[in-house]
Structure 1
C-alpha cells in the first residue's frame, strides 16, 4: 500500500486538499487498491480558508515519515493564517524528512512556499500562484528558480501555479505512485478523460 500524507496548515484551501483525497481515494476503491491518504496538522483540528474545521488523522509529532510514500501540500490564504502554520518549524522539518528520503513532494499554488522555506527548493526550479506577481517574486526571494509554467517538476518535487492545476497535480502524484496507465484509468473513471 502506498501511503500519502496530506499536510494541512490552518488556512489551507479545501479544494486543493480535496483533489488529493478524491484521486487517491478513487484509486483505493475503484482502481488498483494500492493507495491511501492520511492527513496531518500542527494540532488535531485544522481550519481551512473560509473557516471549515477539519479533524486530521495525525499531528506532526505523531508522524514517522518512513511510514509514508509521498507528501501532498495544498496552498492557502494568508488572510486565514496559512503562513503561520506553513512556516512553523514542525512543518518544515517534516518536509525536509520527505526530501531526505527522496519521496515525492507535490504542492498546489502557495503550497510551494513551505517547501521553499524549508530550504529544499533553493537553487531548484519551481512555481507558485501566477496571477499576482508578488507571489512569484516572494518564491524567487526564497532562492527558487521560478518558472512561468503551470506545473513544474524538479526531481521529486512538483509545484504548480494556481487552483486550476490541482487535479492535474493529484493525477501526477497518482502516476508517480502507480503508473501512467493507472492514473489514466482513474482520470477516466472520474470523468476527466
Structure 2
C-alpha cells in the first residue's frame, strides 16, 4: 500500500510528520506494507515557519494507480498555503482520488481544498474550529455539512478540526488501510 502525502506551500510540519511517523512505525516495527511518498508542486516545499523539505515527486509525476490514499496536512494563510492548496491541479487530484473511492485524510484546514474541489458537497466534514469557527464557516460555504467534532469520517474521507487531532487522523488512516486491531498494536507501541 502507498499513501501520497501532499505538501502545499505553507503546510504545517506537525500535521505532515504524523503520517510519516505512524506509518513508519507500522512498517518498520510490524512489517505493515505501507509506504509514504511525499509530493508537492515543486521539488522543495517551504512549510509554515519557513522549514523547507524536499519531496519525492512533483504533482506532474503522480500516477493515481500507484496510491491507496491521499493525505493533506493543513497550513497557514500567512505562509501562502491557499495559493497551492486551491490550485486546480490539486483540486483535480482530489476529485480523482474521491471518484475512485480512495481514502483521503486531512488535518485542520487541509479539508478546505476538499471543500473547494466539490467532493464534500452535502457530506459531513470538519476543519479548524477556533477563532469564532471562521474556517468552518468557509467550509460550510462549499455546501459541506460541517460537524464540530475533533475527527469526522464520511465514507472515504477523514477530516479534523485542529493540529491536536493530527495523530488521531494518522491512526484512523492506518485503521482504514489495515484493521482496527492492527492500528491498535501500533498506537499502543507509540504510547498512545
Same fold (TM over 0.5): yes
Within 5 Å, give how 1:71-150 maps onto structure 2. Answer: 71-132=70-131, 133-150=133-150
Deviation per CA, 1:126-172, whole angstroms, max 9, x where unpaired?
10001122111111011111011111111100100001110010000
Moved more, 27-36 or 117-126: 27-36
Q: TM-score, normalised by structure 2?
A: 0.98
Question: Structure 1 residue 100: deviation in Å?
Answer: 1.2
Q: Aligned partners of 2:109 and 2:99: how far apart in 1?
A: 22
The match for 1:177 is 177
1:163 matched to 2:136: no
Question: 4+ runs of 1 displaced by more than 2 Å?
Answer: none
Q: Aligned partners of 1:33 and 1:108: how far apart in 2?
A: 23
- May I ask how many residue pairs the two structures share in their alignment? 191
The match for 1:5 is 4
Unaligned runs of 5+ in 1: none
Report the secondary structure of 2:36's partner residue.
strand
Q: Is the Cα–Cα contact under 8 Å of residues 3 and 69 in structure 1 kept in the other structure?
A: yes
Question: Structure 1 residue 39: deviation in Å?
Answer: 0.5
Q: TM-score, normalised by structure 1?
A: 0.97
Q: Is the Cα–Cα contact under 8 Å of residues 42 and 90 in structure 1 kept in the other structure?
A: no
Question: Structure 1 residue 191: deviation in Å?
Answer: 1.2
1:32 matched to 2:31: yes
Q: Is the Cα–Cα contact under 8 Å of residues 127 and 136 in structure 1 kept in the other structure?
A: yes
Question: Structure 1 residue 91: deviation in Å?
Answer: 0.7
Question: Structure 1 residue 85: deviation in Å?
Answer: 0.4
Unaligned runs of 5+ in 2: none
